[in-house]
Amino acid sequence: MSDDLSDLDEMGPVDYLVVEFPGSRMTGEGFPLLLDLVDRRIIRILDLVFIRKDADGTVSGVELKDLGAEVDLTVFEGASSDLLGQDDIDEAGRALDPGNAAGIIVYENLWAAPFARAMRRSGAQVVAGGRIPVQALLASLDAVEAEAG
């Protein structure tokens, strides 16, 4: 196990995201914001992997240095806790449209670590969780407006 994960009892909740980039075009616009979250110790990057899905459906890894000059991710070079396995990468690849790329990020929510530790010490455990995508919230609000209109 990586030194980064040596004391699981002290960790905050761990989440993952798969972010698809249509046409494999990454502008890098969001990466300074990601770095800011790391610098402010709101999150800790455990794994960061980039993949590309070719027109024939083949999924392959993309090296950070191969993402193009407009995206400087050298600060994340070597961000790997080995939590992401080939099965995870394959599953993310199945979600992509051909010709697109994706970033797969696994991160610890440092902001929630004290709360999570307190809950574990008291014997509490998470029995369900989830995330509501913004698109689902917007669709729900549109439906409510349509019913009211």
- SS3 for the chain is CCHHHCCHHHCCCEEEEEEEEHHHCCCCCCHHHHHHHHHCCCEEEEEEEEEEECCCCCEEEECHHHCCCCCCCHHHCCCCCCCCCHHHHHHHHHHCCCCCEEEEEEEEEHHHHHHHHHHHHCCCCCCCCCCCCHHHHHHHHHHHHHHHC
pLDDT digits (tens, 9 = 90+) for 68-90: 555 666 666 667 788 888 899 99
CA–CA distance, 83 with 13 (Å, rounded to integer): 14
Q: Is the pLDDT of residue 64 over 70?
A: no
pLDDT digits (tens, 9 = 90+) for 92-137: 999 999 999 999 999 999 999 999 999 999 999 888 888 888 889 9
Radius of gyration of the chain (CA): 18
Whether the CB-CB separation of 60 and 67 falls below 8 Å is answered with: no
pLDDT digits (tens, 9 = 90+) for 23-49: 877 777 888 898 899 999 999 999 989
Q: What is the pLDDT of residue 82?
A: 80
Whether the CB-CB separation of 51 and 93 falls below 8 Å is answered with: yes
**Residue 49: strand, helix, or coil:** strand
Residues 6+ apart with CB under 8 A from 119: 125
Closest CA relative to residue 72, chosen from 41, 38, 36, 27: 27
Token pair 């599953």 is at which residue?
91
